[in-house]
Amino acid sequence: MSDGPVPAAQLGVVRPFERIEWVDEAKFGRVSADVAKAASEAGALRKFMSRGEEGLYVQYSTLPADFHIAPHTHDKGEVLYILRGSCTVEPSGEVLGPNDSAVVPPNNEYGLRAGTEGMDFLTIRNGDAVVAFEKA
């Protein structure tokens, strides 16, 4: 394996961040219209970095200060990786900051509350997930 750069032709899909559109949650339809509207009005946004290429689903999310994601489940396990800011994970009360991560098993109910400076994070899954905002 070479330590040098990988030629672009060998990389597969390349998506510069600034060229990826923010998800229109109302049109995407994975959450209720009320949840989508509240997120949009607060400035909670996400971009899909990967939508299944090589079996990976990666999204970048940014949440404003004190934004709350209500307890919910996904039918796929996921890794949350904090890039900037902090959050409190519900129901454990664990506080995560930059470079911290959490591995969430499928169908495990959890919520997040962004810290006073907001937060940016990645969500990484091995499949497209269905979200449910009620106990699994």
- Per residue in 44-103, pLDDT (tens digit) is 999 999 988 888 999 999 999 999 999 999 999 999 999 999 999 999 999 999 999 999
Write out pLDDT tens, residues 9-51. Answer: 777 788 889 999 998 888 887 777 888 888 889 999 999 999 8
Give the DSSP H or E segment for 58.
Answer: strand 57-63
Task: Show the tokens assigned to 59.
Answer: 């999204």
Tell me which of 2.60.120.10, 3.40.718.10, 2.60.40.1930, 3.30.1310.10 is the CATH number of domain 46-132: 2.60.120.10
Gap between the Cα atoms of 75 and 61, Å rounded: 19
DSSP secondary structure string, 66-132?
A: T-EEEEEEESS-EEEEEEEEEEEEETT--EE-TT-EEEE-TT--EEEEEEEEEEEEEEEESS---EE
